[in-house]
Chains A and B, each alone.
Chain A
Amino acid sequence: MARAVTNRRKAIVTVAAWLIAIAIFFPIFWIVVLSFKTEGNAIKDPLEVLTSAWTFDSYATVQERSNYFRHFWNSVILSVGSTVLGLIIAVPAAWAMAFVPGKRTKDVLMWMLSTKMLPPVGVLVPIYLIFRDLGLLDSRIGLVIVLTLINLPIIVWMLYTYFREIPGEILEAARMDGATLRDEIIHVLTPMAVPGIASTLLLNIILAWNEAFWTLNLTAAKAAPLTAFIASYSSPEGLFYAKLSAASTMAIAPILIMGWFSQKQLVRGLTFGAVK
């Protein structure tokens, strides 16, 4: 009897959850569908769209018009590069904040976060002038630096909240056993911190991949990532839904697939200290 009630309840929850999930996911599903249609069919009634012929034409057109792989490669380099560089700078900082907290630690952390609230448009011209003088315009290095800096506060904070959950007694015990600072980090801390670092890494790759202001404004051709690739399909002459869908699918597919595969790792550390 009790079993039957649970199953009925489970069925209701299942239906509700699936309906909501489908509604949330629908736009992504729809662009994938449209990307396999001709321009003429892509603007028809939804039912007609589904039943019309499938084609790869839009992908062919997009590939002919722009060098997808170079944009893709730039996106990979920028997002991975900036995340790795960010971690190199942030791991020691977060470690120190978590295990040797001072009076000002919290203030420093909050100040770091507040730097992210400044509107980037307000400082574009100064940055542009600096980049021009340093010869960093349209260079991957320049963009890696910018992306590192804009995401650094998030990286530090995420790692800090994660490190703080590592019990201090373990470190003390290790110290009593005569472990040096280096030993502490390599042998005690790192194994415990890997899930948190992995999750931070994933989140920041996503953020850097999707960053569209600096990547569009500081690049031209050589360093332009997928955000710039999309910008050239935003409103071409005539019908463009199928081409836009194909380009969109190509731009988001890599990060979507990566996100899905690493979902567990991403979610595990994505608590920002929200859970005790």
Chain B
Amino acid sequence: MSYTFRALMGACAVGALATAAQAETITVATVNNGDMIRMQSMMDDFNEQHPDITVEWVTLEENVLRQRVTQDVATGGGQFDVMTIGNYEVPIWGNRDWLMPLDDLSDDYDVEDLIPSIRGALSVDDTLYALPFYGESAFVMYRKDLAEAAGVEIPEQPTWTQIKAAAEAMTDSDAGVYGICLRGKPGWGENMAFISAMANSYGARWFDMDWQPQFDSPEWTAAVTDYLDLMTKYGPPGASSNGFNENLSLFQQGKCGMWIDATVAAGFVTDPEESTVADNVGYAVFPNKEGVDNHGNWLWSWNLGIPASTQSPEAAKAFVTWATSKEYTQLVAEKQGWRAAPPGTRTSLYENEDYLAEAPFATLTKETMDAATPEKPSVQDVPYVGAQFVSIPEFQGIGTAVGQQFSAALAGQMDADQALSSAQQLTQREMMKAGYIK
């Protein structure tokens, strides 16, 4: 026993020394979403191109990841060389010089090919601070077979009234089929992403031009009341703890009639290996309220950024450019088919006939992303940028706290008015504390 043990130790030590002698190790923090996990299985290609770079993965759930990387970048902890971050963080961090500017990319990388709205969201003064891994807007995914059986038709540009009618028709709780699945799990990137987008499509806004929160406006009341009404009548049980991943799993199991969420989900619900409903998914634009000219298109991307505290900037850059390159898309397509290619970052992907043929959701994804207007998310004037979020550092805290209120309302602990008034109160408190309003 002890001999084997020592031999093992010895082998480990030798192994560690051998790699340390020639290789540079970078630590990549990433979120446990499907596309990132797919990336980890593509690493053979990267290792072949860069035998001198070893990549260590830290894969975490979204909320935990965000806390860990923010803490590390803000304190200059230097634990990570590449961080997976959203387009909410990139401009804020870029402004603070926490991220390495990525302005000298090679011609092969073809920066011009990046989708303009995404590129804009990741730039500060025209300098890129992170490279997009995949991008998304939101749309309606629905079961064509269920809609047909229920005798409803979902138009290409549905209104909330039509969505509600369809949800009612498709619900069959005895069979375990719920008309509509929406996010309910509290979090600024979870239920608040959806509810903010929905509120935008009702003509609501987070703040007026004096940074006064607007939860006491009739638009918010209408949006939240309808959201709760939809979910309590036609939603699945336990909706207040369902986030993106939980809803994806429900939809794949055939338990949802409709699901309004990120466009990136389309690649997963049509995956015949994981999804039981792969052949029956239809798509429609994010709904709007009658008379409001705004489809609440959100804009989100998961990006790879390099913290300024890294010890291995060159290796990190090599990795980041590899993972967001055209060649990577090609590689995924070769190994797992075009449907699996990371969407929403490059114009060239949407000009690729093979992709368009295999991914029925591609055209609509591109259209909704192009239609997203983060600089003017509502029909009313706003002092902030951001479609389903507000681009100020305080938003993470406020959004999550407000999300808790709406989640509590969904769980039946309070009604819409109570949730809205406590949301109003707490947002006012936080904005006062942060010095936006006196």
Contact = CB atoms under 8 A, between A and B. Distances in A.
Contacts of A19: none
A233 B31 CA distance: 11
Contacts of B120: none
Contacts of B363: none
Interface residues on A, range: 20 to 34
Interface stretch (B130-138, B208-216, B241-249): B241-249
Contacts of B244: 237
A58 to B, nearest CB: 14
Contact of A128 (B41, B75, B249): B75
B71 interface: yes
Nearest to A236: B32
B268 A238 contact: yes
A216 B246 contact: no
Contacts of A164: none
Interface string B109-152: 00000000000000000000000000000000000000000000
A38 to B, nearest CB: 11
Interface string A37-77: 00100010000000000000000000011100000010000
B76 interface: yes
A214 to B, nearest CB: 13
Contact of A65 (B37, B64, B248, B274): B37
B78 A235 contact: no
A252 interface: no
In terms of DSSP, what is the predominant structure of the interface of chain A? loop
B131 to A, nearest CB: 21
Interface string B50-76: 000000111111001000100100011
Contacts of B57: 66, 221
A231 to B, nearest CB: 6
A226 B77 CA distance: 22
Contact of B40 (A65, A132, A137, A224): A65
Interface residues of B, number: 35
Given A128-B77, A217-B68, A221-B27, A237 B268 contact: yes
Contact of A220 (B29, B33, B41, B248): B29
Contacts of B77: 128, 132, 137
Contacts of A234: 32, 61, 64
A242 to B, nearest CB: 12
A231 B61 contact: yes
A220 B83 CA distance: 12
Contact of A221 (B34, B56, B61, B246): B56
B58 A221 contact: yes
A228 interface: yes
A232 interface: yes
A104 B76 CA distance: 43
A127 to B, nearest CB: 11
A238 B274 contact: yes
14 contacts: A65-B37, A65-B41, A65-B59, A125-B75, A132-B75, A132-B77, A217-B68, A220-B79, A228-B58, A236-B32, A237-B37, A237-B249, A238-B252, A238-B274
Q: Which 7 A-B pairs have the closest CB atoms?
A: A221-B56, A232-B59, A220-B79, A237-B34, A221-B27, A234-B61, A236-B32
Given A137-B79, A237-B249, 12 more contacts: A65-B37, A65-B40, A128-B71, A128-B75, A137-B77, A217-B71, A220-B27, A232-B32, A232-B61, A235-B32, A235-B61, A236-B33
